[in-house]
């Protein structure tokens, strides 16, 4: 069964989609893992970043509304399998009103979850029904956070939603860690926010990843070419940082799988 990881932060602009893309592409490219990436953000940036046309295909909206089985929405890329999103998903809060609506994604994934080693879910910058669907099916959450006070506030506000999901539909939901993005070690603000993030992580029963993602224009350029950061700028600092981050994720989730076997 796949390890399901959702990337989440209700604050936008924190590198959530970039981290989702790097995680999905990196696990497939460097560790030979079978990966499915799912875009739950109506902006559709994850599919676009991995080189897909998000307007001329079946999307996660089609799957969640029961128009197509999940297998028909899965697209192949040079990196991994992807289920894209587009603006139609923005109506989810209005459309998904039936009982059990927080389990729509979990039920949809059931036929394919054993086909993958990892499923990576990019969530919208909001605490809405789409986010809750991701939390309901995830084994782990990873929280990307820029070194800004408002980004830190977004992290603290996640705790209530996470606790609610644990009490209702997913008692085993784990916060794998907080990953600091757009990081510049030379600034006082970045160092102060890192220290505060470590305090927040401790309160959430998790950690801040050892590696931070340094800022670079290459991160912004890669999606326009439909390439992962590793292929677009393999020698850039964020590429190095994301590769080190990937190793942390592999180490943490591999230990989990060994424990499950035992």
Tens-place pLDDT, residues 139-178: 999 999 999 888 888 888 888 899 999 999 999 999 999 9
Of residues 185 and 4, more confidently modeled: 4
- Please check the confidence at residue 262 and state whether its pLDDT lies above 60: no
Question: Who contacts 134 (Cβ-Cβ below 8 Å, separation ≥6)?
Answer: 6, 8, 40, 105, 121, 123
Mean pLDDT of 220-231: 83
pLDDT of residue 148: 87
- Please check the confidence at residue 194 and state whether its pLDDT lies above 80: yes
* Residue 165: both structure tokens together: 């999901």
Mean pLDDT of 246-256: 89
pLDDT of residue 256: 57
Which of 117, 118, 122, 156 minimizes the C-alpha distance to 19?
A: 122
Q: Write down the pTM of the prediction.
A: 0.94
DSSP at 252: H
Mean pLDDT of 176-200: 93
Task: Report d(CA 44, CA 140) in Å as an integer.
Answer: 22
- CATH classification (class only), 3-253: alpha beta
Q: Hey, how many other C-beta atoms are within 10 angstroms of the C-beta on 160?
A: 10
- What is the crossing angle of helices 149-168 and 188-203, to 10°? 10
pLDDT of residue 255: 60
The SS3 of residue 72 is: helix
pLDDT of residue 257: 52
Mean pLDDT of 38-43: 95
pLDDT of residue 260: 47
Question: E strand or H helix at 145, and its extent?
Answer: strand 140-145
Spans of all domains in the chain: 3-253
- Please check the confidence at residue 246 and state whether its pLDDT lies above 70: yes
pLDDT of residue 185: 86
Residue pair 33/26 in contact (Cβ under 8 Å)? The answer is: no
Task: Report d(CA 127, CA 158) in Å as an integer.
Answer: 8
The SS3 of residue 26 is: helix
pLDDT of residue 134: 97
- Please check the confidence at residue 259 and state whether its pLDDT lies above 70: no
Task: Report d(CA 246, CA 41) in Å as an integer.
Answer: 22
């Amino acid at each position: 069964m796949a390890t399901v990881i959702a990337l989440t932060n209700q604050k936008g602009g924190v590198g959530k989609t970039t981290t989702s893309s790097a995680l999905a592409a990196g696990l497939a490219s460097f560790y030979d893992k079978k990966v499915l990436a799912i875009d739950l953000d109506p902006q559709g940036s994850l599919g676009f970043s991995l080189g897909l046309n998000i307007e001329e295909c079946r999307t996660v909206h089609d799957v969640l509304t029961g128009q197509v089985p999940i297998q028909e929405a899965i697209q192949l890329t040079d990196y991994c399998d992807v289920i894209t999103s587009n603006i139609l998903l923005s109506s989810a809060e209005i459309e998904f009103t039936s009982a059990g609506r927080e389990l729509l994604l979990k039920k949809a994934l059931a036929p394919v979850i054993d086909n993958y080693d990892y499923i990576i879910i990019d969530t919208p910058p909001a605490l809405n029904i789409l986010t809750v669907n991701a939390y309901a099916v995830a084994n782990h959450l990873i929280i990307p956070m820029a070194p800004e006070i408002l980004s830190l506030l977004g992290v603290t506000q996640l705790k209530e939603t996470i606790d609610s999901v644990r009490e209702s539909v997913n008692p085993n939901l784990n916060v794998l860690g907080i990953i600091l993005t757009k990081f510049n070690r030379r600034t006082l603000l970045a160092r102060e926010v890192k220290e505060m993030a470590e305090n927040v992580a401790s309160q959430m029963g998790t950690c801040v990843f050892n590696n931070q993602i340094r800022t670079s224009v290459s991160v912004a350029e890669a999606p326009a070419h439909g390439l992962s950061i590793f292929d677009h700028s393999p020698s850039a600092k964020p590429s190095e940082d994301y590769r080190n981050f990937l190793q942390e994720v592999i180490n943490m989730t591999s230990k989990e799988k060994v424990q499950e076997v035992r």
